[in-house]
Structure 1
Amino acid sequence: MTTTASTPTTVPPLRPASVRHGGVTNAISDAMTLIGRSIRLTRRNADTMVMSVVLPLLMMAMFVFVFGGAISTGTEYINYVVPGIIILCTGYGASSTAMSVADDMTSGMIDRLRSLPIRSSAVLVGHVTASVARNAVATAIVVLAAVGMGFRPNATFGEWLLFGGLVLLYVLGLTWLAAAFGAVSKSVESAGLFGFVMLFVPYLSSAFVPTDTMPAFLRPLSEHQPITPVIETVRGLLTGTPIDRGGAALAWTVGVLVVAFVVAVRLYRSRTSR
């Protein structure tokens, strides 16, 4: 009687970017496949989309109709607060990427993808692209609702384009940062902490009140954190207030995007190659 030694099967790691069979064409095909998957998941997970819109709308209504009469900003408060709400909306929407990536990491989806000739970066590209598309819809709804509440932007066509470009860079940076957070999270619940951070940080900025009304110990943090110049630049583009920190806003958004992209890809590859 003979026995045949069984060879343990191992799951191959996701194909790194350096292994390119088919070059750019296959890279685009991989990315499009995973983008389609992420968009389908977004349609099925309607509560994420609803919350990314409803929460900013509720906060905007609360600040405009409940607190607006007690807050002096030198202008109509709704024109002051809407740019901050837009940035809060995009930040909170981007944070859901952390949970999506963490779900893939902990549900066994990555193990199934390892058996396919798919580049590892395509998984993150799928999540990030779907998040940006979801954010674009949510932001448009928030702007339209703000106009219905009395927001009156006076931006030119060129200023609207600059606004869109800056917000896109900001969303991309935060989405890749969320992807990095999701890649190292041990559970979907822990990845959800990123959403709490993105809801809290705008309060320590000029989103809702001018920074010079804050206590002295908070003012330096509020004035020099990355979100403040982004909000002030968006406010200037939409409402015509002076834009003094446009360069800082661009530098912060591009810097966060580059660093977050590199970190997210490296952390993801490190974890999926184990």
Structure 2
Amino acid sequence: MSTVPTSLADSAIMLRRNLRHTARNPVVMFNAVLFPIAIMLMFVKVFGGAFSVGEDYVDYATPGLLVMAVSHGLVATATAVNDDMTKGVINRLKVMDVSRGSVLTGHVVVTTVRCLVSCAAILGLAFAMGFAPSASALDWLAVFGVIVLVSFAAGWLTVALGLAAKTAESAGLATVPLIMLPFLSSALVPAATMGAGVRQFAEYQPFTPVVETLRGLLLGGVSSGDVIAAVAWCAGLALLGYAWAVSTFDKRA
């Protein structure tokens, strides 16, 4: 049985492996970093003047674009996990007595790291475009914590989707709802301005309280209700993804 130090060492090895794969794949880097930047430029510079949100649009949109940056890096995780499963990599690692947890955790951690890099790029561009947050040092620490939490939750759910899919293509398609959800939240426009049906969906889906929590922390006026809902959604999705991933791993590996 693997001891805790052995599991940590295995996790570090798997993390290095996945980081190398990410660095060597330009498509992964594009989806994780450059595509969210392109989305930001399009919405802020092209469409931003058409939205009436009561403040500079770059200030309103930046928190939502941070969440979009998280969701757009998930395809790479799902396909990488599926490749490891369908091509026999995981079975070879099991023969080598590599900790089961490290195989899955390595993918989740590299997903979180990739999301943090993407969010840093979004923030850098936002400041260049005039973003003027009122957040204190403690608020920025909380923003970092929320981004890590949503990245961790989305990572586990995406790992589960990748393990459950039969092919890498279907694994990538399975992440499409997670990519689209931020567009149907309050990320780009207030939910109150949406039509009936879409408005209710936006108000009660997982990403809206996350976006509103980030917006409150960065611009002031954070709501305790949004914070509680955001943490609850992230914790629930992380637990669901973890349980599903472990169960599927045991059945397929």
Q: Is the shorter-chain TM-score for this pair beyond 0.5, marking a shared fold?
A: yes
The amino acid that maps onto 1:48 is V
Q: Displacement of 1:94 after TM fit?
A: 3.2
Match of 1:233 in 2: 213
Q: Which runs of 5 or more structure 2 residues have no equivalent in the other structure? A: none
1:147 equivalenced with 2:131 (yes/no) = no
Deviations along 1:14-48, one digit per CA (max 9) or x if unpaired, are: xxxxxx14x21211122122112111111211320
Stretch moving more, 124-133 or 221-230:
124-133
Q: Displacement of 1:242 after TM fit?
A: 4.2
1:73 equivalenced with 2:36 (yes/no) = no
1:49 and 1:138 in contact (8 A); partners too = no
Deviations along 1:59-97, one digit per CA (max 9) or x if unpaired, are: 111111111111101111111111111000011213421
Q: Displacement of 1:50 after TM fit?
A: 2.4
Q: Which secondary structure does the structure 2 equivalent of 1:262 belong to? A: helix
Deviations along 1:189-212, one digit per CA (max 9) or x if unpaired, are: 111113422221112110111111
**1:247 aligns with one of 211, 214, 228:** 228
Distance 2:15 2:74 in 1: 15
Match of 1:224 in 2: 204
Match of 2:240 in 1: 259
Q: Normalization by structure 2: what TM-score?
A: 0.95
Distance 1:119 1:217 in 2: 46
2:77 and 2:158 in contact (8 A); partners too = yes
**2:147 aligns with one of 137, 143, 167:** 167
Distance 1:97 1:72 in 2: 36
Distance 2:199 2:30 in 1: 34
The amino acid that maps onto 2:78 is A
The amino acid that maps onto 1:245 is D
Match of 2:100 in 1: 120
2:31 and 2:72 in contact (8 A); partners too = no
Where in structure 2 are the equivalents of 1:1-274 lying within 5 Å? 20-21=1-2, 23-243=3-223, 244-272=225-253
The amino acid that maps onto 1:132 is T
How large is the Cα RMSD of the aligned pairs? 1.4
Distance 2:6 2:93 in 1: 15
2:74 and 2:155 in contact (8 A); partners too = yes
Match of 1:11 in 2: none
Q: Which secondary structure does the structure 1 equivalent of 2:73 belong to? A: helix
Q: Displacement of 1:123 after TM fit?
A: 0.7
Stretch moving more, 46-55 or 58-67:
46-55
Q: Which runs of 5 or more structure 1 residues have no equivalent in the other structure? A: 1-19
Distance 2:47 2:41 in 1: 9
Work out the percentage of aligned pairs sharing the same amino acid: 38
Q: Which secondary structure does the structure 2 equivalent of 1:88 belong to? A: helix
Q: Which secondary structure does the structure 1 equivalent of 2:147 belong to? A: helix
Distance 1:219 1:136 in 2: 29
Q: Which secondary structure does the structure 1 equivalent of 2:112 belong to? A: helix
The amino acid that maps onto 2:142 is L
Distance 2:174 2:49 in 1: 32
Distance 2:109 2:103 in 1: 10
Distance 1:36 1:217 in 2: 45
